Structure 1
Amino acid sequence: MSDGRTPAQIEADIARRRQDLAATLDEISLRVSPSTLVGEAKARTKGAVDRTAGQAFVVANRAVTSARGVLVAPDGAPRLERIVPVAVAAVAVAGLLAVGSRRPKKTRGRRRGR
């Protein structure tokens, strides 16, 4: 069952395969090390936060642009016929909230001595 290799060639193949195996094990241990896993988790989290922040910025920017289009004329002048009702509604809501927060809360009185 000779494949035509000399004992020296077989020993060299074994040594090479041991080195390859050692390099593979080193790479595996690096990939599963806690510091590597934590670093990868941080990178994934940062990417998700960046994407979410970017999406929130786009939504906010659209809302501001939409509100500007409704409340400001193309020449840049404020549209008072639209601003005044919005301002009145905002003041009314703020007033209702202020009045509602000033009402004394009803508490149940406890009788002592029972």
Structure 2
Amino acid sequence: MADTSETSDTRSPAQIEADIKRRRDVLAETLDEIGVRVHPKTIVGDAKAKVVSNIDHTLGRAYVGVNRAVSDVKAQFVDEEGTPRMERIVPVALVAVGLVGLLVVGSRRRRR
């Protein structure tokens, strides 16, 4: 910290006392700030805020990824005008019905 006061041999006792008081006040403020920063509640609060921020960021990225995947799948079954693409929907539906049928038959065989 640069000293802007006059040299010590030209200052009066009142000026020296005022300088000491000012420096004490600055030091007390600095110590108070350090005390707040190292207080366990402050440290825990900062850690919680960081975790919440990371979770929010991760969830946001996950949402964007899922939204993109859903849009990609939708684009496979709906054209630009929003009309269903039956030539793609019907084969997928048949495969799904076939898989469900196989699962039902397989579960009935296990029960016997």
Q: Distance in 2 between matches of 1:10 and 1:96?
A: 95
Runs of 5+ unmatched residues, structure 2? 1-6
SS at match of 1:76: coil
Runs of 5+ unmatched residues, structure 1? 105-114
What is the one-letter code of the residue matched to 1:56?
A: A
Paired position in structure 2 for 1:73: 79
Percent same amino acid among aligned pairs? 55
What is the one-letter code of the residue matched to 2:79?
A: A
Paired position in structure 2 for 1:43: 49
Paired position in structure 2 for 1:109: none
The alignment of Structure 1 onto Structure 2 pairs a total of residues equal to 104
What is the one-letter code of the residue matched to 2:89?
A: I
Could you tell me the TM-score, scaled by structure 1's length? 0.74
What is the one-letter code of the residue matched to 1:38?
A: V
Q: RMSD value over aligned CA atoms?
A: 2.5
Structure 1 residue 85 corresponds to structure 2 residue 91: yes
Paired position in structure 2 for 1:26: 32
Structure 1 residue 6 corresponds to structure 2 residue 19: no
What is the one-letter code of the residue matched to 1:7?
A: P
SS at match of 1:39: helix
Residue by residue over 1:5-57, the C-alpha shift from the partner in whole angstroms, topping out at 9 and shown as x without a partner, is 11221121111111111110000000111111111112111111111111111
SS at match of 1:16: helix
SS at match of 1:28: helix
- Once the two structures are overlaid, the 10-residue window that deviates more, 22-31 or 89-98, is 89-98
Shift in alpha-carbon separation, 1:9–1:95, aligned structure 2, 3 A: farther
Residue by residue over 1:47-76, the C-alpha shift from the partner in whole angstroms, topping out at 9 and shown as x without a partner, is 111111111111111111111111012332
